[in-house]
Amino acid sequence: MRAIIEIPEKQISDLALIAKTKKLPRAEIIRQAIAVYIANNKPSATPAFGLWAKHSTKCQGQDGMHYQEKVRAEW
């Protein structure tokens, strides 16, 4: 996908310097920067709601069968 965006001159010159140093096209440097931004800011899974809201943090990373056995043991 192509996008038209406005980038301040200072950032353009910094990008040009990075591209020259790494011997990569400026577009590739921008793609890499976007990938890092997305990885650092991507929202996690939607939090649980309703009946499971209070259990969502307790169950994370737990095997479903293990959790089921634990809950049934409480009966």
pLDDT at residue 34, as a whole number: 95
What counts of helices (H) and strands (E) characterise the chain? 4, 0
d(CA 44, CA 27): 28
Higher pLDDT, 41 or 61: 41
Q: Look up the pTM and report it.
A: 0.56
- 3-class SS of residue 26: helix
In this predicted model, what pLDDT tens digit does every residue of 42-74 receive, in sequence order? 887 666 566 666 665 555 666 778 878 888 888
Res 68: pLDDT: 81
- How many CB atoms neighbour CB 29 within 10 A? 18
Average pLDDT score over residue span 16-31 = 95
